[in-house]
Structure 1
Amino acid sequence: MKFIKWDCFHEIEAYTTCSYCNGELMNMSFNGIDDQQVLKNREKLAQTLHTDLNHMVATHQRHTTNFLKVQLQDGGRGMWSQEDAFDNYDALYTRDRHLWLWSFHADCCPVLLYCRDQKIVAAIHSGWKGTVNEIVGKVTKHLITHENCNPQMIYAYIGPSIEQRNFEAKDDIIDLVKQMSFDTHDFYIQKEDGAYLLNSKGLIQQQLLNLQVPQKNITISPYCTIENEDLFFSYRRNKSPHRNITLISMK
């Protein structure tokens, strides 16, 4: 199976799955089209990572800012069907080792966190709605405030997603960007036709910086899901119903 790896520390593993492997479609999300194949893909993924689906957990994402602390006993939720997935959450975090946290995406931004001092990992789904509502900042602030994470020891991965040069947004989105809790004018550029190009990865990074996470601790993926058709599914490119996942676990 083909992965893009986040090289961070030896005690964690973190990857983004690619959309094809040896010519085979590697959709990871149940969508009612090829769910049996999705299950086979998930089982192949688990085998490749030397684990099983009972050590993986996923949510039914709905573009919220809701997040949930999970434990090893939650493993398997959302793996064999969407019906038993944690519903209405777009981020998960855990202190437990050997539990893989998933984030689904196809242009939306997956964000991984590793709080090295407290040994906590998190997986966050930040589409434009999550970004303007500052889900990454909210999860990070919670970890600092309620889990005693030192922001200087938080490491972040802003994963493959749509790049600014391809993220065209209209006034409805930009008006929400302008209402965020910090000055956002550097993160969008107006085009001649009146639309804007939005830097969602930059907005996510700024949320982390505002909480004193050091710049050197933040890794931003250079990949654009629109442009890299051989690696990623993209809803904006072709209305794809399929999803990649970005996932993280502590060894």
Structure 2
Amino acid sequence: MSVNQLHPTNRLNTSCAQCSVLGLCLPLGLSAEEANRLDRLIVQRFKVKKGAALYRAGHQLRSLYAVRAGSFKTNVLSNDGREQVTGFQMPGETLGLEAISTDQHTCNAFALEDSEVCPIPFSQLERLARELPSLQHNLNKRLSREIVQNHEMLMMLGNMNSDERLAAFLLNMSQRLNMRGYSSREFVLKMHRNEIGSFLGLRLETVCRSIANLREHGLVEVTRRNVKIHNMDGLKQLVAGCHRRLS
């Protein structure tokens, strides 16, 4: 990783107790003393410029990264260089969990905007988790969540048509942003449409057509990256399969 891409920030501002996403991050449910012990593992935060790689596939696992600000995408590349987006991460979520089994990152992580992360050295985190059952519980929950999300993605790709996939994606973004104090009905997407298509297993033109379908039926309006959800219940019904395809 280039020093021009990652910038350390002031150590004095890294207190977990003062973080705006404390309720979504690893210290959730820890006592003040336990949170302080976790906090001491974080030597300093890093700023990651838009478009820069936090880590790449094949890099050794040294740290997990708690997203403090901004957003990221993870992806893998095929042998011929085609991108497959595997996820989008927001503040309070953890990057690097996929590397635990092999001690090597199996995907790339890129900042979708100017972002900030808290690197937590994994070997030290493991030792601390053995001493703090509440911290181990939080780690287990995050690993379980990764498995559940993978199952949900398989279900989406196997059973949903393009309109339903896009509706499910927008609902997921809405819910996650709302958990972070943002509007559930009006928000800005940080990723390009082709990245959404890669994540959903859709071609760019199919994504654009589904956006038009959702708009024509009064469910959602998407202007560039600005999203307005006009009919939340209608979106949920579409995802539930009440309307198999918009026509």
TM over 0.5, yes or no? Answer: no
Normalised by the length of structure 2, the TM-score is 0.26
Give the number of the structure whose alpha-carbon radius of gyration is greater: 2
Relative contact order higher in (CA < 8 Å, ≥ 6 apart): 1
Write 1 or 2 for the structure with the bigger share of strand: 1
Normalised by the length of structure 1, the TM-score is 0.26
